[in-house]
Structure 1
Amino acid sequence: MDFDTLERLWRSEANHQASVAETYVVKSTLKTLKNRRRKVATGMGLVGLALTTWTFMILYALAVGKIASLAREWGIVALLIVSWVAFFAAIVQQWRHMNAHPHTTDTMPEVLRALIDENRTAQARTRMMAMALIAFIAVLGLCLWQLYSVGKMELQHVVQGSILFGAALGLSSLMHTIRYVRLLRPEGKRLQRLLDQYEVEN
């Protein structure tokens, strides 16, 4: 709890206890919303940087001939396409949310609606990433097989790579599933109940 903010509000014109309490809750909720938006923006920035670096590495490999035949090793390009499509889809989802609630007012219903929309956007992003992950796994398997077929990997390395990537992607999927089921969905329902209760009481 931010006691400095509470004390500042108490000394302001909104010095009625009920007004102070509601104003403090609104300010605290707004802060939560802004922090979540900042985390999403930071995460997307890091993913964008990683994708850009990876893309340049692939282009460099093509330029110097490390990828000998694009006709036989096109899986890596498909992998890039899947990754970029998922990335831009996430950007569009977040842009829609920001455009729908660009300047949230200091009223509880509006703040709750913005937070509900942020939650729905996070849920939609998680579902979209799950679909992208399925495509990513399929194309990744194709890439490993292509590397084997052109003689750049032995069969045992393909198996080892499959186990390694499978474990990493499986762990990531498990973490996102737990977050979706245990955090995002219950929070969305709770926020909607709060908004409905607030509108009934006011």
Structure 2
Amino acid sequence: MSLLRMLQTIALGLCLAAPAAMAKVEIEASSSTNPAPLEAFSAFGRVEVRPITMGAPWAGQKPNEAALVNLQANLDERITPWLEEVNAGTPGAGQPRVLRIEPYVAGIRYISGGKRVFAGAFAGKSRILLKLRIVDAASGQVIAEPEFYQHAAGMAGAYSFGGADKAMLERVTSLAVDYLRANHAAAVGGPTGAG
């Protein structure tokens, strides 16, 4: 193969890959801070956490489904000590109020390790928007709905062979658990991770 032919093939490949790399998926936090919940979480005697859900159009895509498994494992690892701590308290008279936390993926673009190896930085950046719907289980009243955003740059993902993409999932769950801890004693809000 001549040098000219090889350069033409590379140029064609880059032209075909460019739209995918430049595709703009609007996944971002609406603010840099989450507002305070309606009341401190310590007003509830018990806390329950549902599994993370993910809806269309992100559900069903193989990289996103793999990210969801990792995201759930990261959340379980970080939230379990806090849950054990708050649920170990002495219940008062009667039934304790129950705080239900319903985490869901409001947006995700996850670049898998395999795609990072083959496309590198051209695969673009990974990003995730995780929301927690926090409700009074008895009344259904929404106490708070904080959001947490993180991303992994394309070059960082390429350099780490996808390690930066996995670290993004760890960071977003840490932000969520930090918010829960910070708002337990007093309703103060917290960062979204954007900015």
| TM-score between both structures, scaled by the size of structure 1 | 0.29
Write 1 or 2 for the structure with the bigger share of strand.
2
Bigger Rg over Cα: 1
User: Relative contact order (alpha carbons < 8 A, sep ≥ 6): 1 or 2 greater?
Assistant: 2
